[in-house]
């Protein structure tokens, strides 16, 4: 038998066919797979998810650590979250309850104080371990705590104002003579006087009451207000006390006897729905008071300096550059000067009625703005800090939330 041997032409045809197939494969492989669209760089320094926003304010320690009383969105339990300045979770202090905590306050030694139910907790800033727990007779009723310069902690619980030492011992307990409910959070004047009271959120009372209590727990004076109180308290120059009244305006109280006079009749006026909960008046290094609206009036005198028609403002910070940071009930964060709003966050969502609950705001010494919105905690580079020589640049006065006019602003 003869074996058929392929001719030269057959080999040449096979090689040409193989070459064509290899070239086709190379062309196919050289085509790049369609790339994924690149994500736009975040405008935030960092974010942390699963922290649900409540009407509380972050507190900032001297080392830049941030503490926030929110809700664990996964467990629905309230928790105090502790973050490093670069956004790492240090620890969380969680309670088996949906009852909100107070806003935290940072002591001069770094100890973290927070209230929940009828308990005041002191926590180690590094580990979150409980240093002490003090139990009041009734549930803590003030949203914010206050600190003396010696780290005594002041808070209201039912009809009593408490002073607890930094070692966890009761120093005194002032029961108000009217058996009114302490829900107007305490603030501390330059001589150590504590101002607190009842905002009057019930239908059967005729108006709020403000009490001035000495550092040893004695009643100094009280003032029955004209109507329901619409703001937290602010301590101004010479310890003059400023407060907003529903459907009236901004009032000043004389620190020696509680005598009251009106500064501006429009600042907290015109709220047919009781104007919601307005922010505290804030005071910069100039002698003016900034209230709801925004509306800036001189003190003394009450002369209108300027105003901005911004609705639903619930929180205001005065920055180092005389810029104002505003939080609104529509869930937006706005940056403004007295000439108007120049920037903002989440405005597009608000325009589309996609309102997310927004916490209160705080600014750190390195110019980071901290807040919680929806189920996310945010760190935003505002690039300015609180106004250092301001009298009272934010609710609770300073980044540590001490509500004490003597505390340094950093």
For Cα atoms 38, 39, 42, give the angle at the middle one, nearest 5 degrees.
150
Q: What is the mean pLDDT of residues 377-396?
A: 96
pTM, rounded to two decimals: 0.88
Q: How far apart are CA 160 and CA 200, in angstroms?
A: 15
- Give the per-residue pLDDT at 329: 87
Which DSSP helix (H) or strand (E) runs through 8? helix 8-30
In this structure, CATH architecture of domain 46-381: 7 Propeller (2.130)
Give the C-alpha separation, 296 to 186, whole Å.
24
Q: Is the pLDDT of residue 23 over 80?
A: no
Tell me the Cα Rg of the chain. Answer: 29
pLDDT per residue over 58-75, tens digit each? 999 999 999 999 999 999
- Give residue 38's pLDDT band: very low, low, confident or very high (50, 70, 90): low
Interval 147-189: pLDDT, tens:
999 999 999 999 999 999 999 999 999 998 887 889 999 999 9
CB half-sphere exposure, 174, CA atoms < 13 A: 26
Q: What percent of the chain has pLDDT over 70?
A: 84
Please state, in angstroms and rounded to a whole number, the distance separating the CA atoms of residues 358 and 284.
24
Q: What does the domain layout of the chain look like in residue ranges?
A: 46-381
Q: Is 199:178 a contact under the CB 8 Å cutoff?
A: no
* Cβ neighbours of 132 (radius 10 Å): 17
Long-range contacts of 84-90 (CB under 8 A, 24+ apart): 85/364, 85/366, 85/368, 86/45, 86/46, 87/45, 87/46, 87/47, 87/48, 87/379, 89/48, 90/65, 90/126, 90/128
* H/E segment holding residue 169: none
Handedness of CA 278, 281, 282, 286 (dihedral sign): positive
CA distance 407 to 398: 7
Nearest to 329 by CA among 306, 345, 350: 350
Q: State in Å, rounded, how far the first CA of the chain is from the last one.
A: 104
The helix (run of H) or strand (run of E) holding residue 315 is strand 313-318
Residues 186, 163 contacting (CB under 8 angstroms):
no
pLDDT higher than threshold 80 for residue 292 = no
One DSSP character per residue, 176-224 reads: -TT-----EEEEE-TTS-EEEEE---STTS-S-EEEEE-TTS-EEEEEE
């Amino acid at each position: 038998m003869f074996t058929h041997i392929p001719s030269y032409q057959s080999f040449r045809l096979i090689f040409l066919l193989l070459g064509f197939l290899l070239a086709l494969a190379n062309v196919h492989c050289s085509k790049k797979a369609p790339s994924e669209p690149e994500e736009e760089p975040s405008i935030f320094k960092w974010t942390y998810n699963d922290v649900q926003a409540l009407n509380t304010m972050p507190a900032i320690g001297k080392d830049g650590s941030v503490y926030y009383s929110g809700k664990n969105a996964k467990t629905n339990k309230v928790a105090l979250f502790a973050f490093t300045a670069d956004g790492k979770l240090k620890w969380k202090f969680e309670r088996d309850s949906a009852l909100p905590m107070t806003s935290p306050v940072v002591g001069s030694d770094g100890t973290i104080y927070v209230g929940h139910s009828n308990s005041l907790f002191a926590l180690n800033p590094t580990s979150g371990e409980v240093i002490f727990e003090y139990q009041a007779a009734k549930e803590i009723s003030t949203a914010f705590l206050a600190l003396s310069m010696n780290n005594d902690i002041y808070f209201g619980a039912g009809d009593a104002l408490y002073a607890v030492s930094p070692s966890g011992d009761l120093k005194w307990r002032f029961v108000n003579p009217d058996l009114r409910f302490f829900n107007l959070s305490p603030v501390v004047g330059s001589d150590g006087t504590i101002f607190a009271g009842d905002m009057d959120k019930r239908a059967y009372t005729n108006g709020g009451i403000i009490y001035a209590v000495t550092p040893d727990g004695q009643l100094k004076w009280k003032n029955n207000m004209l109507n329901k109180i619409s703001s937290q308290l602010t301590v101004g120059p010479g310890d003059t006390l400023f407060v907003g009244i529903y459907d009236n305006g901004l009032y000043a109280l004389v620190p020696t006897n509680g005598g009251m006079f009106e500064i501006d009749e429009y600042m907290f006026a015109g709220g047919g729905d009781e104007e919601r909960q307005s922010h505290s008046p804030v005071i910069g290094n100039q002698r003016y008071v900034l209230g709801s609206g925004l509306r800036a009036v001189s003190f003394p005198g009450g002369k209108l300096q300027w105003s901005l028609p911004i609705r639903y403002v619930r929180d205001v910070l005065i920055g180092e550059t005389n810029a104002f940071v505003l939080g609104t009930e529509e869930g937006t964060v706005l940056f403004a000067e007295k000439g108007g709003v120049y920037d903002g966050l989440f405005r597009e969502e608000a325009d589309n009625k996609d309102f997310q609950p927004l916490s209160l705001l705080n600014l750190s010494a390195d110019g980071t703005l901290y807040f919680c919105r929806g189920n996310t905690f945010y760190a935003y580079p505002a690039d300015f800090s609180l106004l250092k020589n301001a009298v009272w640049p934010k609710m609770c006065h300073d980044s540590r939330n001490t509500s004490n006019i003597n505390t340094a602003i950093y």
